[in-house]
Structure 1
């Protein structure tokens, strides 16, 4: 098996992915199912963060406010696509013992790799931009801190992340899990007080013909799909699954794929609940009261208190946004490190790598908030999602190619029916993102 994999790649793997934490989390030997599952839990939660980051909030809020519960089915379909793609990502990391960036470096021509790296860095900077703006908006909503100051404060995240990384990967996973729990509690509370109707919610989970026939609804639906699957997550997941010290044998890899898939699927279902909760709260609060023009985070925050009759609703909303922004910062840091080390085999000091990425995001965010305020911030948040959509195809297609290649995956290659399925999903995502880009730049 090992010799087969070595012959499949243009060059041998140069180093371990995230070498400082590679195989650092012990898996108990001869333990029962539940103890092993607990040991594997964590990477899935870190991946789920990308599916509930501040960039997703605007499309969920707009969808719920304008069209009620109808677009819940789109969130569900998007999440199912994400579950499949993240399964491919973790399988690549476990079987090939490469993250997606390393796999591209070891397969493609250097010129192709350089182009892929540039696109990926742009996407990570765009993602970081969404994190910066989300955190700055949350600080503004909670404490009245001006947006420009909020943007500047986000630079401190660099040092917080370094502190967390120094304590060990399991500790980092725990912090991420804790922040997700805060988001869950906040939106659980908002669902309870907004009192949504159960049967319309269940009906919304079934795709409706009007989603395709109504141009405005179709545009938002594609926006939800385009903003859901995050390209950096495909690089990240293929790396952090290798933090587990499973046996690097066929049987050990088979077991690791099983438990990592359970972890990933369960975590993404949790992300589905949170994304659905954002849309449900928007539908129950804004759509039913006739406030269908709510389209961004600021509008939603302003209207929650008068419509629901309690200030805790808007506070919970802002707290959840702050937790979401901080969580996205943690995973974005790792994704940036993985991409730079994987494509270039270039290892910078963590604080320097993070500071460079953060400044790329902070500088445009600072000047936009300084000169254009809330409106400019909302538009910049949307632009960051458009840039991410542009990069998605460059991550999905190589991932599908590698996991469909028997020379690279050996006995773990995708089965024939699954190969067809993943290519269909990939083409749907590519076509819809191209449509979203066309509509965005044509001035819809």
Structure 2
């Protein structure tokens, strides 16, 4: 297949308008590079669209989730399972909107912001998005460093330094095509899911307590400690940079660009992301359930660090492999998140600033900005500070969410931009309700801090 042009005409321009609007296509090296069979069975067409959802799902089970889920499970048992469930349902809706924007408008979220907002607002949103990406990358750095320490005994500072070299992995994978990148991600996701399936079998959680934990309680909002963790879980589950990422990578599929082709692509992309996020729901819930069944039930409500959980799992569960399997899953999660964080950073820089940056330069810059606070905190507070920084990074992500969610909902509801594929009334009001919940929870958290 010939490489796609770096620029494309505005698909929403009026017929005969002059001059056409030239746009730099999102992820030009992979744009429309995955063929979609036109007259094939449903499952083959779905398989062609499968992949972007799993890249997005990675962000919903990165090491930042582990810190908040372990702390929530050990301190409050199964009570915060409802937060994981609701957050995941919100994520499914928002990611479906991100796919809709990318397919119907031919724009990723960053490009849409650049086209539709004044320069000052656009630059502000870019800065906030970069902060979110750095916070996410910080969680990946710390998670990978902790996994290396647990598996090989490396000091945390050494592990943090090693993470700066993962740019080579990204370059290698992207060089061989987007499908290989997706296959790598899916393989690591299967490893993570298998690890936690094993952990749950040996932990033997209380099924009735799990069912009860899926029902929300007022205490989640009234208890400041629980609310802090709940918002951390929300920030770790619904990640702002994933909205930018998904709206771009759905454009790697060579679907028909008429309304019928776009409707079909939206439907397939929504199935893909919903199934992938179902896997993310299982893994996030499994981490919290494991902490509740192992630590909370035994009266260890103080387990809030990943290294603590690793040290206690084998003796408390009576299985020598439990701790090692836990650390292997953590390492896989950290490496997976590294790949998608790199792509999101590239998309954001190109979309907001129309700036083409070499992947290696972008990756090193983002990683160095994450390594600096990680090194400073570990040097000052020791290993204990790493987990505290992990939880804080997820709260920071949550505080950034409204600045990605509100533009996304507004754009996908705009018929001038989306045409006949704009969100129907029920979807629009559901999306604005989700945005209101996110803004309300963040406001409550800020009031509590003040």
Mapping for residues 281-292 of structure 1, pairs under 5 Å: 281-292=290-301
1:82 aligns with 2:82: no
Aligned 8 A contact 1:21 1:168 in 2: yes
CA distance in 2, matches of 1:391, 1:139: 29
CA distance in 1, matches of 2:66, 2:351: 31
Aligned 8 A contact 2:56 2:246 in 1: yes
Indicate the larger mover: 220-229 or 13-22.
220-229
Aligned 8 A contact 2:78 2:209 in 1: yes
State the number of aligned residues: 437
Mapping for residues 18-97 of structure 1, pairs under 5 Å: 18-97=27-106
What's the counterpart of residue 348 of structure 2?
A: 339
Pick aligned residue for 1:232 from 226, 241, 244: 241
CA distance in 2, matches of 1:220, 1:364: 22
Pick aligned residue for 1:6 from 2, 9, 13: 13
What's the counterpart of residue 332 of structure 2?
A: 323
Aligned 8 A contact 1:4 1:410 in 2: no
**What is the TM-score with the length of structure 2 in the denominator?**
0.94
Pick aligned residue for 1:116 from 116, 120, 125: 125
Secondary structure, aligned partner of 1:52 = coil
Secondary structure, aligned partner of 1:311 = coil
CA distance in 2, matches of 1:218, 1:381: 17
What's the counterpart of residue 155 of structure 1?
A: 164
Unmatched tracts of structure 1, length 5 or more: none
CA distance in 1, matches of 2:22, 2:211: 48
What's the counterpart of residue 200 of structure 1?
A: 209
Question: 1:98-150: CA deviations, max 9, x gaps?
Answer: 00000000101111111111111111111111110110010001100010100
What's the counterpart of residue 218 of structure 1?
A: 227
CA distance in 1, matches of 2:207, 2:276: 24
CA distance in 2, matches of 1:12, 1:332: 30
CA distance in 2, matches of 1:320, 1:44: 20
Mapping for residues 361-400 of structure 1, pairs under 5 Å: 361-400=370-409
Mapping for residues 128-207 of structure 1, pairs under 5 Å: 128-207=137-216
Pick aligned residue for 1:423 from 409, 417, 432: 432
Pick aligned residue for 1:311 from 305, 320, 329: 320
Aligned 8 A contact 2:76 2:296 in 1: yes
CA distance in 1, matches of 2:55, 2:113: 23
Aligned 8 A contact 1:97 1:242 in 2: yes
CA distance in 2, matches of 1:203, 1:384: 29
Aligned 8 A contact 1:4 1:407 in 2: no
CA distance in 2, matches of 1:366, 1:20: 34
CA distance in 2, matches of 1:67, 1:13: 54
Give, in angstroms, the shift of residue 214 of structure 1: 4.0
Indicate the larger mover: 317-326 or 382-391.
382-391
CA RMSD in angstroms comes to: 1.6
Give, in angstroms, the shift of residue 355 of structure 1: 1.0
Secondary structure, aligned partner of 1:285 = helix
CA distance in 1, matches of 2:302, 2:175: 46
Secondary structure, aligned partner of 1:341 = helix
Aligned 8 A contact 2:99 2:247 in 1: yes
Aligned 8 A contact 2:234 2:398 in 1: no
What's the counterpart of residue 273 of structure 1?
A: 282
Aligned 8 A contact 2:227 2:445 in 1: no
Indicate the larger mover: 243-252 or 414-423.
414-423
CA distance in 2, matches of 1:220, 1:273: 19
CA distance in 2, matches of 1:232, 1:428: 19
Unmatched tracts of structure 2, length 5 or more: 1-8, 15-19
Mapping for residues 425-440 of structure 1, pairs under 5 Å: 425-439=434-448
What's the counterpart of residue 410 of structure 2?
A: 401
CA distance in 1, matches of 2:446, 2:346: 28
Question: 1:237-257: CA deviations, max 9, x gaps?
Answer: 000000001011111101100
CA distance in 1, matches of 2:323, 2:117: 49
Question: 1:327-374: CA deviations, max 9, x gaps?
Answer: 110000000000000011111111111111111111221232233221
What's the counterpart of residue 5 of structure 2?
A: none
